[in-house]
Homo-oligomer: A and B are copies of this chain.
């Protein structure tokens, strides 16, 4: 009765936590990572104290957002690993993620800049693991150069997500730059032309 371990009243607590996270994501996306906590409070429709009750530090809030985001990406990667065509799943994931980055701009932007030392190692590792799976499968079917390593993929992914914030960024440019990267990941004599040639050569 006096030990504070009940889980009843937390219904609204958890609801607010979510609202705050959503608001924060939005505000950071709009105004960059230096947006004030006050703005977030306003957008979330709560008092500023409420934010600090849930996330005792701005850091903590940032961390939470990043973890959330990473988890989402991980889920998507896993879904593609489970259902998608191994040959294209990684590229789909890549495209999908960049697409979302456009919407979350500086949030994803933060993702990269762990210079602010958000401790999210675990969440990053989980994502890495899922990407690794996608990569391996693609390599198994010959869709991606076998020597490619996971960190190359995630780095290129992060890079393109950040590029999303460039003023010149647009869907067409996105399509063309991703094409370059995808080509860069594809084995040298891709397939079609060579096969034809090879067949002929075999005779």
Residues of A that sit less than 8 Å from B by CB: 1-4, 12, 16, 32, 34, 45-47, 50, 106, 109, 112-115, 148-149, 151-152, 155-156, 158-160, 162-163, 165-169, 173, 176-177, 179-185, 188-190, 192-194, 196-201
Contacts and interface: CB of A to CB of B under 8 A. Distances in A.
Which 6 A-B pairs rank lowest in CB-CB distance, beginning with the nearest? A184-B184, A159-B163, A196-B197, A180-B184, A159-B159, A183-B184
Contacts of A47: 2, 4
Contacts of A46: 2, 4
Contacts of A165: 112-113, 115
Given A182-B184, A189-B189, A193-B194, A155 B149 contact: no
A199 B201 CA distance: 8
Contacts of A199: 197, 201
